C-alpha cells in the first residue's frame, strides 16, 4: 500500500488535504511532526508521496516548504488541493476569556487570527507549535488555563471544548497544499507548472524572462520573489503557469527561461486543482 505523509498529528488541515487526496489515490496516511522531515522522507523513499502546505490566501507562501523544495530536496509537485481554513479557539475546559493565560498554535494560524487575538486577548502570551493539532494536543495537558487555535476535527480528536468558531480574520481564508513525489506527473490537459529561477542583476533581465510567457501566450497564475540566500539584493522568482512541461509551448518557455537564468529548477508539472461540483 502506498504511504502518504502529512504534517501531523491527526487533526491538522494538512491531514484534511491528505484525506481528500487518499480518497482518490488510496494509501496509508502517516503523520510527520515537521515539514522538512516530511519532504525529505519522500526523497529518501520512506514515503511514496507527501502533502504539504505551500500557500495561504492571507499569509502568502509557506516559506519552509518553498525553501526546502528549492535548496534541499529533489522531488516533484504532482498535484494540489485547496482547503477552506476555518479556525476555532479550543481548550480543555469551558474557560471564560478572562481566565485564559496562554494561546498556542502554528505561527500561520496565529497570524490568520491576529485581529481576533488583539481584540479578545490583548497582552495574552502566544506560543508557537509545529502544527495546529500539536498546539491542541499541548493545551489538553496544560496545568493552567490555556487555549489553542485549531480546527473542529482537532477539538474532537483531543476531546477539547470549542470556545469560539470561525475566528479567522477573513472569511475567505484558504490554503493551497501540494502533493510531492519522487516521480513526475503525466500530462492531463488541465495542468500547471511550477518553476523557480533567478536572473542576472542587469536592467530588464526579469522583464525579458516574463516576456517569454507573454510571447508564447502562456498565462501566469502566480509570481513571487524570495531571497536567494547568498547576499542581499539577490532574489529567486517562483512562477506558476498554465500548461505541462511536455506541452510544446510550455517546453519552449522552460527551455528559454533555463538558458537565460543564473539559477533554474523545475518544481513540477501537475493537474490543476478542480473543486467538486
Q: What is the pLDDT of residues 239-263, one digit of tens each?
A: 999 999 999 999 999 999 999 999 9
Confidence of residue 74 (pLDDT cuts 50, 70, 90): very high
The 8 Å CB, 24+ separation contacts for 138-142 are 138/104, 139/90, 139/91, 139/92, 139/104, 140/92, 142/92, 142/102
DSSP 106: -
**Strand, helix or coil at 102?**
coil
Specify the pLDDT at position 13: 93
H or E element in which residue 63 lies: helix 63-71
What percent of the chain is predicted at pLDDT more than 90?
82
What is the distance between the alpha carbons of residues 206 and 223, in angstroms, rounded to a whole number? 12
Identify the residue with better confidence: 4 or 9. 4
Distance CA 8, CA 41 (A): 14
pLDDT at 265 over 90: yes
Q: What is the pLDDT of residue 234?
A: 79
Which is higher by pLDDT, 176 or 57? 176
Q: What is the DSSP string of 188-224?
A: -SSEEEEEEEE--SSTTHHHHHHHHHHHTT--EEEEE
Question: From the candidates 13, 177, 237, 238, which is the catalytic residue?
Answer: 177
Of the candidates 188, 183, 174, 181, the residue with the CA atom closest to the CA atom of residue 81: 174
pLDDT tens string 170-222: 888 899 999 999 999 999 999 999 999 999 878 888 899 999 999 999 999 99
Q: Say which of 12, 65, 132, 175 is annotated catalytic.
A: 175
- 177 given a catalytic annotation: yes
pLDDT given for residue 273 in this prediction: 86
The answer to whether residue 277 scores a pLDDT higher than 70 is no
| pLDDT of amino acid 233 | 64
- Whether the per-residue pLDDT at 69 is higher than 80: the answer is yes
Q: Are 162 and 152 in contact (CB under 8 A)?
A: yes
Query: What pTM, to 2 d.p., does this model score?
Result: 0.87
Residue 209 makes CB contacts below 8 A (sequence gap 6+) with 197, 199, 237, 257, 260, 261
Task: Give how far Cα 139 sits from Cα of 9, 106, 127, 167, 244, Å.
Answer: 14, 13, 11, 18, 45
Q: How far apart are CA 136 and CA 116, in angstroms?
A: 18
Domains plus CATH for the chain? 3-84+173-181 (3.40.190.10), 88-165 (3.40.190.10), 191-271 (3.30.70.260)
Average pLDDT over residues 4-15: 93
Query: Considering the chain, what percentage of its residues have pLDDT values greater than 70?
Result: 97
**In this model, does residue 60 exceed pLDDT 90?**
no
Query: Cell numbers at residue 167, please?
Result: 475566528
Say whether pLDDT at 98 is over 50. Answer: yes
- pLDDT band for 24, please (50, 70, 90 cuts): confident
C-alpha cell at 204: 530588464
Residues 141-154 have a mean pLDDT of 94
Mean of per-residue pLDDT scores for the chain? 92
Query: In 3D, which of 58, 3, 65, 1 has the Cα closest to residue 34?
Result: 65
Q: Using one digit for the tens of pLDDT, what is the confidence trace for 100-130?
A: 999 999 998 999 999 999 999 999 999 999 8
Q: Which residues pair with 175 in a beta bridge?
A: 56, 83
231 band by pLDDT with thresholds 50, 70 and 90: low
> To which H or E segment does residue 70 belong?
helix 63-71
Q: Residue 276 — very low, low, confident or very high, per pLDDT cuts 50/70/90?
A: low
Confidence (pLDDT) at 260: 93
Amino acid at each position: 500500500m502506498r504511504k502518504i505523509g502529512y504534517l501531523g498529528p491527526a487533526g491538522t488541515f494538512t491531514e484534511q488535504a491528505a484525506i481528500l487526496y487518499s480518497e482518490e489515490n488510496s494509501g496509508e496516511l502517516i503523520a510527520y511532526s515537521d515539514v522538512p522531515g516530511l519532504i525529505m522522507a519522500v526523497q529518501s523513499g520512506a514515503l511514496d508521496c507527501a502533502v504539504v502546505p505551500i500557500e495561504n490566501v492571507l499569509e502568502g507562501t509557506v516559506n519552509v516548504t518553498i525553501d526546502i523544495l528549492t535548496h534541499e530536496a529533489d522531488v516533484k509537485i504532482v498535484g494540489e488541493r485547496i482547503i477552506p481554513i476555518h479556525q476555532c479557539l479550543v481548550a480543555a475546559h469551558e474557560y471564560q476569556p478572562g481566565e485564559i493565560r496562554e494561546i498556542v498554535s502554528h505561527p500561520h494560524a496565529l497570524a490568520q487570527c491576529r485581529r481576533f487575538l488583539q481584540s479578545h486577548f490583548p497582552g495574552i502570551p502566544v506560543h508557537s507549535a509545529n502544527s495546529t493539532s500539536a498546539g491542541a494536543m499541548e493545551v489538553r495537558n496544560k496545568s493552567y488555563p490555556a487555549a489553542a487555535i485549531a480546527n473542529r476535527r482537532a477539538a474532537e480528536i483531543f476531546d477539547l471544548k470549542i470556545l469560539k468558531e470561525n475566528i479567522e480574520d477573513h472569511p475567505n481564508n484558504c490554503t493551497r497544499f501540494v502533493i510531492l513525489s519522487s516521480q513526475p506527473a503525466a500530462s492531463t490537459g488541465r495542468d500547471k507548472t511550477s518553476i523557480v529561477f533567478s536572473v542576472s542583476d542587469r536592467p530588464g533581465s526579469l522583464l525579458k524572462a516574463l516576456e517569454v510567457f507573454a510571447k508564447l501566450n502562456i498565462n501566469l497564475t502566480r509570481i513571487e520573489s524570495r531571497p536567494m540566500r547568498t547576499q542581499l539584493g539577490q532574489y529567486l522568482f517562483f512562477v506558476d503557469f498554465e500548461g505541462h512541461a511536455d506541452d510544446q509551448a510550455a517546453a519552449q518557455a522552460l527551455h528559454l527561461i533555463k538558458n537565460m537564468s543564473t539559477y533554474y529548477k523545475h518544481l513540477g508539472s501537475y493537474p490543476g486543482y478542480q473543486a467538486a461540483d
